[in-house]
Chain A
Amino acid sequence: MEDKVREIISKYDSDKAFLVPILQDVQKEFNHLPHKALHRVSVFLDVPISRIYEVATFYKAFSLTPRGDHQLTVCIGTACHVRGAQNLTDHIERILGIKPGETSGDLKFSFDTVNCVGACALGPILEADGDYHGKMTISKSNKLLKKLGKKVVTDEED
């Protein structure tokens, strides 16, 4: 872990001004921000750990706990909301058994809501691992979840 952190930091010439991009790279590498890695960043950059903790807890994009293999995000912006984003959120909560901001116990899925992804014409949007899926419906989301490896039991006949 130490070598990897060092490598990431040297990419930015150990410049404190790049703390956020450094943390982004650390998160990409380890899928979340492990405490140990942050302590290494603190030492290498000569930034107090309290400062790094502030930044890491300020931005929603950073997670101090492990994330799932797949990231699902429902847009709950106004346009998506009026087109049923709430139903979609409820449905995914029920299927995955987790609330927004949480990660399933088997570390397969993380689920979040976001206030707008800027694709309002395609609402409601379900973002899965960075890909936007527009005009989302409950049954379309079931298909998507199945594709990602989640067993979905539905009342509908397939």
Chain B
Amino acid sequence: MVTLTMDGRKIEAPEGATLLKAANSANIEIPQLCSNEELEHYGACRLCVVEITHKNRTRIVASCIYEVAEGLEVNTRSERVLNVRKLVIELLLARNPRHPSLLKIAEDLGVKKSRFEAEIKGCILCGQCIRTCREVVGVSAIGYEGRGINKRVATPFEESPPDCIACGSCHFVCPVDVIPMKEKDGVRNIWKTDFPLQKCESCGRYFAPVKQLEYFREQYNLPPEQFSKCTHCR
């Protein structure tokens, strides 16, 4: 355990923990959009910045990727921190001016309107969809395309993603809901591609994408009849 000071309070945190995690366990709220317990630390959204003091010098760091250290002094609500957060949320609002989760953070920071001209992209490039697909699902069907101002989330060659199993994790994890997914007549549509759903043998309900069930069977060496019934009928 290491002891550090956060907003004037002495708190303890396990070694190797991030400042964000330490703050959350001490009930200190820090806004963030890209950090996810199931995923590796990433540091994309920059909303979680805090100010650290080290030998008379202060520095702005992203708390979701900065590890706790003995005797570290952290200020999560200094004027400098709040100014950076305001700037960041305004930049994010320029990309997506309407999503409630962004508007909520903006309101909390006292930001009424973005100073920047709207350049609506929807996606805020937090990378949670890509990282979930890679790290949790393990298929890596989607990725980034391009770089700088042209960077965006895309399927390879903007075609139907060959590795996608239609699990919908990217749709679920997206903090600004910009990955559409629809289900109709036994077909799930995601990434502009139709994936047939498996029909339950006994109740006739469509319960999961065929490709996802195939993927599970392959991963865990399950018999072919494993997922012929839905969870209720099993």
Which A positions have Cβ atoms within 8 angstroms of B? 35, 48-54, 57-58, 64
Q: How far is the CB of A71 from chain B (nearest CB, A)?
A: 21
Q: Are A35 and B144 within 8 A (Cβ)? A: no
Complex-state Cα separation, A150 to B208, whole angstroms: 59
Q: Closest B residue to A59 by CB, please name it.
A: B147
Which B positions have Cβ atoms within 8 angstroms of A? 130, 133-134, 139-147, 154-157, 161-163
Q: Are A54 and B162 within 8 A (Cβ)? A: no
A64 surroundings in chain B (CB, below 8 A): 157
Q: Closest B residue to A64 by CB, please name it.
A: B157
Q: How far is the CB of A158 from chain B (nearest CB, A)?
A: 42
Complex-state Cα separation, A48 to B157, whole angstroms: 13
Find A53's partner among B133, B134, B139, B157 (CB 8 Å cutoff): B157
Q: How far is the CB of B127 from chain A (nearest CB, A)?
A: 11
Q: Are A35 and B145 within 8 A (Cβ)? A: no
Q: Are B144 and A54 within 8 A (Cβ)? A: yes
CB contact under 8 A between A58 and B147, given known A48-B163, A50-B156, A53-B157: yes
Q: Closest A residue to B147 by CB, please name it.
A: A58
Number of A-B residue pairs with CB-CB distance less than 8 Å in the complex they form: 39
Q: Closest A residue to B157 by CB, please name it.
A: A35
B162 surroundings in chain A (CB, below 8 A): 49
Complex-state Cα separation, A53 to B140, whole angstroms: 11
Find A57's partner among B130, B140, B146 (CB 8 Å cutoff): B146
Q: List 6 A-B contacts (CB under 8 A).
A: A49-B163, A50-B142, A50-B156, A53-B143, A54-B145, A58-B144
Q: Are B157 and A54 within 8 A (Cβ)? A: no
With A35-B157, A49-B162, A53-B145 known, 14 other A-B pairs at CB within 8 A are A48-B163, A50-B140, A50-B155, A50-B161, A52-B156, A53-B143, A53-B156, A54-B144, A54-B145, A57-B144, A57-B146, A57-B147, A58-B146, A58-B147
Q: Are B143 and A50 within 8 A (Cβ)? A: yes
Q: Are B147 and A49 within 8 A (Cβ)? A: no
A54 surroundings in chain B (CB, below 8 A): 143-145
Complex-state Cα separation, A51 to B143, whole angstroms: 6
The 7 closest A-B pairs by CB, nearest first: A50-B143, A48-B140, A53-B156, A54-B143, A49-B156, A57-B145, A57-B146
Complex-state Cα separation, A35 to B163, whole angstroms: 15
Q: Are A51 and B146 within 8 A (Cβ)? A: no
Q: How far is the CB of A91 from chain B (nearest CB, A)?
A: 27
